[in-house]
Structure 1
C-alpha cells in the first residue's frame, strides 16, 4: 500500500517533485563531474609518467635526501663508462633534462607553455629506444642546432632552417642563435603526448653544456641483457657509483612519478570538490525545505491516513520512500549530466591552458559517490521532516487550516540534557584532534546534537542554539592561535552552524520583512532599479550589435592592449549579448513587482507569506545560502586584491621588476647573466637579484642554544623528520624532536643581495643591525621571531639541500612578508649550498 501511495503522491504533484529532482540532479552532476574530470587527468598523467620513464630497466640517479628534484646534483660524466662496463648491461642512455628552456620565435615572442613546464632535453640515440619521433626535418647534430615539438612549432612563428634565440639557464654570449632543424612528437609517432608541456631538443653534448652547465647527466638509464639478474646488476652498480647517487628500477621511478602527479591532482580535486560540496549543501537545503513545505501542505492528508489506521512509522516510511525514489531518479539522470558537466569543465579549463585531450572515464568509485550524493544525501535531508510527519495527529484531518504548529511537542528534559551534553563533548573533542577535518566535522555534528537535545527541552530556545554556537566558534577561531588548516576547519564549522542557526531564526524576521518589501517606498525603489537595469540591458545589447556591425572602438582596443589582450569583435560582443539576454527578465520582473505591490495580487501574496512565516523562511533559506556564498567569495576576493595592491604599493619601491613568463603554477627562471647585463646598463643605478627554491630546513631549539654542529650531529634523525617518504608516525616524529630538542620548519629558501635591498624593497623593518649584514645573515619576519623567541643578534641553524648546516645570524626583523616571505638569506649563502646555473 505504501508503494502505491508514494507513486500516486509523485504522479499527482509532478512539478513539485521534478523541481526537487533538479536539486538532486545538480548535486549528483557536480560531484560526479569532479571525479570524472580528475580521473581523466590522473589517467592521462599516469600514462605520461609511463611515457617519460619508458625504454629502460634500471636508472642511476642523484640521491635526494629531502626536497624536490629541481635542485638535484648531476651524475658525473665519467659514470657513463662505469655503467657501460657493468656485467649484464646491454645498452645505456644518459638523459639530460632541465626546466626553463624556451625557444623565441621570429616575432621575438617566447613559445612557452601556459599550463605545463618548458623543458629542454637531448635527442637520445645511444640505446636505440625512440622517445622523440621525427615529424619534419632532422634531429639536431651540432652545437648550433635545435628541434621543437610540433605544438611549439605550430603555435609560434617558426620556419625550419631559420635561426632563433633560445633561453637556457647557462649564460650565452649576446646574440647567440640556434638553427631550427626539425620537429617531433613525444612518446607517440602519431600524436604529441606532452599534456601541455613544451620541449626543446639538442644533441647530447650540447644539452649537457646548455642545460647542466657541462657538469653531468640528469640520470643514466640502462637496458639489461635477457639473461641478466636485475638484483645483481643493481648491487654491482651500487658498488661503483658515488655515494650521492642511487640505483632504482623503472617500476619504482614510475610509481614515484605517478605519486607526485597524484599529489598535485589531489589538491586540484579538493579545490573542485569544495565547490561541488557547496552546491551539494545548497541542494540538501532545497530538498529539506521542499519536504518541510510538503509536510505543511499535507497535514490533512497525513492526518486522514492516521485516522484510518496508519501508524506514525508508516507515515515516516512513506516520506522517506518518496525521498528514496527521488534520489534514485536524480542519480540515474545526474550521472550522464555529470559527464556533460565534466566535458564543459574541461572545455572551460582549456581556456586557462589545461590540456583538452584528457579522457572522461566513469570509474566505479565515481558511481559510488554519485549514489551517496543522490540517494544517501537526499534521504538524510528528508529524515527530519519525515520524523516530524509521524507526529501528525488524526484530529489534524478534521480541522481547516491545520499546519505544522499543530504537531505535538516532545518534552523530554532528561534525554535532552544528556543529548545536549553529548553534543558539547563532540564540540570540545574537535579541539583535541589536529588537522582541518576533525575541526570541521566534530563541531558541526556536535552543534546539531546540542540543537536536538535543547529541542527536547524547549522548542523556542533551540532556535537560538546553533546560531550561538556558530558565533562562538567564529570568535574562538579569530582569537585563538591555530595552525592554518585547523583555522580553516573551525571557520568552516562556525560558518556552517551560523548559517543553520540563521535558518532557524529566519521565521522571526519573515513577517516584518514581507511587510517592508510590500510597502510603497520599497515598491518605488524596486521600480527605479528596474528602469535603470532596463536601460543598462538595452544599452549593452545595442552596443554588442554595434561592435559586431562596425568593429571594436579604438579606445577599447587600446585599453585591452595595455593588458596584453586582443580585443576582437567576438570577444567583446559575445559576452555583452549573452549577459544582456540572460538578465533581460530581471528588470521586467522588478518593474512588474513594483506595479503590482499595492494591487490585489501583491496584497494576497503578502498576506499569504505573513500568515505562515515558518514556510516563508524555509523557502528563502536556499537563496540565503546562495547570497551568503556569493558575498563571501566577493569579499574574500576583494580583500586579497586589496591586500596585494597595498603590499605592492608599500613594499616595492624600485622602478622595475624583471620576471620570467608564467608557466604552469610558477614563473620560468632565467640565467643569472641577465642581472649582470642589467647592472652594466648606464641607465640602471642598482639591481637586487632574487633567487628562490624549495626547500631548506630551519631549526630553533626548544631548550637552550642550538648550533649548526648540533644540527649536523643529528643529521640522520633530522632527515627522518623532514623526509615525507619515510614511514614515521606522528609519535615517532614527536619522540625525535624531543630527543633533539628542536622544532624544524621546511620552507622556501629565498636569497637576495643585501647591499641595495632597502633601496628596492621596504618590508617594514622593526629592528635591524646593518653591522651584522654579511654572508651568514638572515632577515626574518616578526611572527617567526616572536614564535621562536628570536631577536636581532641571535642565531639559529639551517640545513640545505647539500646536507650541510650553517649558523644564520639574525640581522633584521620585518613585518611585511609579501615580498621576502618568512625569512631571506644572502646570495653568498645560496651560492654556497645550492647548485649554480652560471
Structure 2
C-alpha cells in the first residue's frame, strides 16, 4: 500500500501542488506572525534590560497602570533629589544617581521638520555621569554640561546628518530651544530604540525642561562588589520607606516585559486571526481536492479492495498522501514565513515600531507550524479518506467512475440550525447593552452563519445557478448552457469551491461596512460636537508643549484656545482614563448634550457620559473619590452627565484637577475659537505663522480634521484588507484546482463535445463561464453575509462611537466585478489544457 501511495503522489503531483500552496500560504502567515512577535518581544526585552541599574527606585504607584507613562496616560510620578543622598549613605552602594525621562522632546532636522519617528515617541533624558548606571555609551564628543548643550542618539544623528559642533533645534514640553550638539551616544549594546529618538541634557536642564527643579523620575543604584542585588534592594527599601518602589534590575525588566507581553497579545491575536482565516479557507481546497481525487480513482480503489486491501489500509493510504502534502507544505510555509515576518517588520516600521537586529526564529515556531499545517491537512482529508474506504470492490467492474453522494437532508438540517443560531446571536449582539459583550455575540454569530451557510451551500447552489446561469444561454448560446449545466452538475463541488471565496469576501465586506460606518460617524461626530473653527493636533497623537496654546491665544481675532490633555486615576476604586480641559472654553469649543447638570462646577468636580454614570451608579451631586497614581486623594463632585461623545471621552475633569493628580502639562489637542465676525481665512495665516515654529503639530479646520480622522480609519482598513487578500488568493487557487480536476474528470465528455463540433475557442469560453458563475456564487454569499456581519457589529458598537450606519454599495459592486475577474483568471490554465486535448485520445480515455 505504501508503494501505491507513493505512486499516487507522483501521479497527482500537479493537482496536489495547488492544494499544497494553500497550506504554504496559511502556514507562512502563522510562521511570519510568530517570528514577528518573537522579534518584537526580544527587541523590547533587550530595551528593558538595558535601562535597568542594579537597583532602581521610583515613586510607588497607588495602582497598576501597566505600560502607561507620561506620554500615553498623561500622568507622571517623581522622586525628590534629596533621596539620592539618603540612598548614597546605604551600606553596599557603589554609586547612585537620579535620572529624568519624559516624552514630548522632538529633534528638528536641517529643514526644520520634525525627525520622522513614524509615531514612536520623542524622548528626553538626563545624561548619567556614572558609567556603571548608564544604559548609554558615548560615541563621539563629550557629555552635555550646560543649558545650551545637548546630545542625541547615533540613529537620530545618522538620519538627520547632524555632527558634533552643529546647532540643533529641539522642541520640548516647555520652550523651543536651540543648542549645540556636543556629543552622540549609543543606547544599549546595539543602539536599538524601536524607532524612538533620544535627546540628552545635563541633569539640571533636564529637570527644568522635563520634570521640575529638584525632581527625578527615578534613581539608579549600583551595588558594590560582593553585594547582591536582592540584598541591596532590601537595604535601600528599608531607608526610603513604603512610598517608593525598589526593584532589582531583573525584577524591573521582568515587570516591564510582563506588562508589554500583555499589550503584545492584541497584535499577536490580531495577526493570527488572519492566519486562521487563510488556513480555514485552505481547508476547503484540500477537502475538495481529495474528494475529487477519490472520485476519479473509484475503479482503482475498488480494485485494491478486490485484491484484498482492507478499509483501514485504503484510509491510511489517502491520509498518508495528505500527511506528505502537509509536511511539505508546512516546510515551505515556514521558509516563506521568514519573508512574511520581514514584511510585517517593514510594515510596522512605517508606523513607528522599528525592530532592530535580526528576526527571531524559535524552535516553538517550527513546532507549531508543523502541528497546524499537518493537522489542518489531515482533518480536511479525513472525510474523503473514509469515503474511499467505503468504495465497494464491485465498482472495479464499472465503466462509470462517478461517485454516488448521499442526500443533503442531514447537511440541510445542520445548516438551518447553525444559521438560526447565528442570526439569533447577531440579534443578541445588536441588543446588548455593553459593546464588548455585543461584539462577542456578533463574532459567535458570524462563525455560526459561515458554518451554516457552508453546510447549506450545495442546497442554495442549484437555484442560484439556475437563476443567474439562465443568462448564459441567452448571451452565449450552447456554450453558455453547457457552462451552466457543468456548474449545476455537482453542487457539492461547486459549493466547496465557492465557500472558500465566500469566507474571504464576507470578511472584506464586513470590514468595509464597519469602515464606512465609522467614517460616517466621524463626520457626524465632528459636525455635531466641535464648535471651534480650528483644531491643532499632532497627526500621530504625540503630546506637545503648552507654549503653543499661549502663542496662538495672542494671534489677532482669536477668542479662546481650549487645551485638551489626557491622564489616568482611580475613581471610586476603578481605573479611569481622564480627559482634562479648561472649563472656561468647554461650552464655546465643544457641544455637549446634557442629560442632567452642566459643566459650571467642573473646576472642582467632574462630568461623565451617560453610559459611565449608569454603570457606576453616579448621579449629579454624588461625591467620587479620586486616587492619583502617586497616592494623592481628592473628592470630586459629579457636576453633569452628558450623552456619549467620542471627542470628550467618558470622564472629563479640569486642567487644574489633572495637574493636582500628577498630570503632565502636555497638550493633545487645542480647540481654537475665533472672535465673532472673524473670517477663518483671514485668521489662518497668523495661526500658521505661529505653528511654523512647532512642526510637530498641524492646523486643521473641521473638514481637514474630519479627513485626518477618517484617514486613520482608512489606513487600518487597508491593512486589514491587505491581509484578507491572502484568503482571496487561496480561494482563487481553489477555483483553479477545481476546474483543472474537472477537466480531467470530463476528458471523455470534452472529447465527445469536440467530436460533435465544439470549437476550441468555445470550449475555453465554456470553462471560463463556469468559473465566473462559481465565483459569482461565492461572492454573492460572501457579500450578503459580510454585510450582515458589518451591520450587526456596527450596531453592537454604537456606544463605542459608531453611531451611524453606512453600507458602501459601490464597493460591493466592485467586489462582484473582482470575483468575476478572479473566475476568468482562474480558468485560463484549465481552459487551455482542455482545448489542447486531442479528440480521439480524449474519447478513448476511461
TM-score for the superposition, normalised by structure 2? 0.73
Match of 2:182? 181
Report if aligned partners of 1:60, 1:246 keep a CA contact under 8 Å in 2: yes
Structure 2: runs of 5 or more not aligned: 667-846
Match of 1:734? none
1:654 aligns with 2:532: yes
Report if aligned partners of 1:102, 1:112 keep a CA contact under 8 Å in 2: no
Report if aligned partners of 2:40, 2:355 keep a CA contact under 8 Å in 1: no
1:479 aligns with 2:431: yes
Match of 2:297? 298
Report if aligned partners of 1:288, 1:381 keep a CA contact under 8 Å in 2: yes
Q: Per the alignment, do residues 135 and 312 of structure 1 end up closer, same or farther by CA in structure 2, a change over 3 Å counting?
A: same
Counterpart CA distance in 1 for 2:415 and 2:302 is 26
Report if aligned partners of 1:647, 1:818 keep a CA contact under 8 Å in 2: yes
Match of 1:42? 41
Greater mean alpha carbon deviation, residues 670-679 or residues 650-659: 670-679
Report if aligned partners of 1:27, 1:279 keep a CA contact under 8 Å in 2: yes
Partner SS for 2:571: strand
Counterpart CA distance in 2 for 1:521 and 1:236 is 86
Q: Deviations over 1:164-184 (max 9, x none)?
A: 432222x33xx7432222322
Partner SS for 2:515: helix
Q: Deviations over 1:24-69 (max 9, x none)?
A: 111111101111121122222222222222xx42222211132245
Match of 2:566? 692
Match of 2:337? 338
Report if aligned partners of 2:92, 2:227 keep a CA contact under 8 Å in 1: yes
Report if aligned partners of 2:150, 2:183 keep a CA contact under 8 Å in 1: yes
Counterpart CA distance in 2 for 1:47 and 1:299 is 59
Match of 1:748? 577
1:609 aligns with 2:479: no
1:798 aligns with 2:672: no
Counterpart CA distance in 1 for 2:434 and 2:598 is 32
Counterpart CA distance in 2 for 1:494 and 1:79 is 58
Find 2:496's aligned residue among 618, 622, 629: 618
Counterpart CA distance in 2 for 1:267 and 1:24 is 25
Counterpart CA distance in 1 for 2:632 and 2:138 is 44
Report if aligned partners of 1:27, 1:373 keep a CA contact under 8 Å in 2: no
Report if aligned partners of 2:119, 2:542 keep a CA contact under 8 Å in 1: no
User: How far did residue 266 of structure 1 move?
Assistant: 2.5
Q: Deviations over 1:750-786 (max 9, x none)?
A: 111222212111233333345x524333222122233
Report if aligned partners of 2:583, 2:603 keep a CA contact under 8 Å in 1: no
Any residues of structure 2 matched to 1:443-454 within 5 Å, and which?
none
Q: Deviations over 1:646-671 (max 9, x none)?
A: 21222112112122452xxxx22223
Partner SS for 2:499: helix
Find 1:633's aligned residue among 489, 511, 514: 511
Find 1:675's aligned residue among 549, 566, 570: 549
Structure 1: runs of 5 or more not aligned: 410-454, 525-596, 700-743
Match of 2:451? 500
User: How far did residue 127 of structure 1 move?
Assistant: 4.5
Counterpart CA distance in 1 for 2:228 and 2:286 is 63
Any residues of structure 2 matched to 1:262-301 within 5 Å, and which?
262-301=261-300
Counterpart CA distance in 2 for 1:325 and 1:492 is 34
Find 1:779's aligned residue among 607, 627, 637: 607
Counterpart CA distance in 1 for 2:231 and 2:43 is 34
Report if aligned partners of 1:36, 1:342 keep a CA contact under 8 Å in 2: yes
Report if aligned partners of 1:31, 1:273 keep a CA contact under 8 Å in 2: yes
Counterpart CA distance in 2 for 1:341 and 1:768 is 54
Partner SS for 1:686: strand
Counterpart CA distance in 1 for 2:169 and 2:388 is 76
Counterpart CA distance in 2 for 1:615 and 1:276 is 24
Find 1:817's aligned residue among 631, 634, 645: 645
User: How far did residue 120 of structure 1 move?
Assistant: 0.7
Any residues of structure 2 matched to 1:313-462 within 5 Å, and which?
313-355=312-354, 357-399=356-398, 401=400, 403-407=402-406, 458=410, 460-462=412-414
Report if aligned partners of 2:529, 2:590 keep a CA contact under 8 Å in 1: yes
User: How far did residue 677 of structure 1 move?
Assistant: 3.2
TM-score for the superposition, normalised by structure 1? 0.73
Counterpart CA distance in 1 for 2:594 and 2:161 is 48
Q: CA RMSD in A?
A: 2.7
Match of 1:108? 112
Counterpart CA distance in 2 for 1:801 and 1:352 is 30
User: How far did residue 119 of structure 1 move?
Assistant: 0.9
Greater mean alpha carbon deviation, residues 489-498 or residues 192-201: 489-498
User: How far did residue 369 of structure 1 move?
Assistant: 0.9
Counterpart CA distance in 2 for 1:655 and 1:33 is 46
Report if aligned partners of 2:412, 2:459 keep a CA contact under 8 Å in 1: no
1:757 aligns with 2:756: no
Match of 1:721? none
Partner SS for 2:647: coil
Match of 1:95? 99
Report if aligned partners of 2:429, 2:440 keep a CA contact under 8 Å in 1: no
Counting matched residue pairs gives: 659
User: How far did residue 85 of structure 1 move?
Assistant: 1.8
Q: Per the alignment, do residues 238 and 343 of structure 1 end up closer, same or farther by CA in structure 2, a change over 3 Å counting?
A: closer
Q: Per the alignment, do residues 202 and 82 of structure 1 end up closer, same or farther by CA in structure 2, a change over 3 Å counting?
A: same
Which structure has more relative contact order (CA 8 Å, sep 6+)? It is 2
Report if aligned partners of 1:213, 1:837 keep a CA contact under 8 Å in 2: no
Q: Deviations over 1:191-231 (max 9, x none)?
A: 53222111111112211221222132222222222233655
Counterpart CA distance in 1 for 2:297 and 2:481 is 25
Counterpart CA distance in 1 for 2:184 and 2:394 is 84
Report if aligned partners of 1:763, 1:819 keep a CA contact under 8 Å in 2: no
User: How far did residue 335 of structure 1 move?
Assistant: 1.3
Counterpart CA distance in 1 for 2:101 and 2:368 is 40
Q: Per the alignment, do residues 105 and 329 of structure 1 end up closer, same or farther by CA in structure 2, a change over 3 Å counting?
A: closer
Greater mean alpha carbon deviation, residues 304-313 or residues 464-473: 304-313
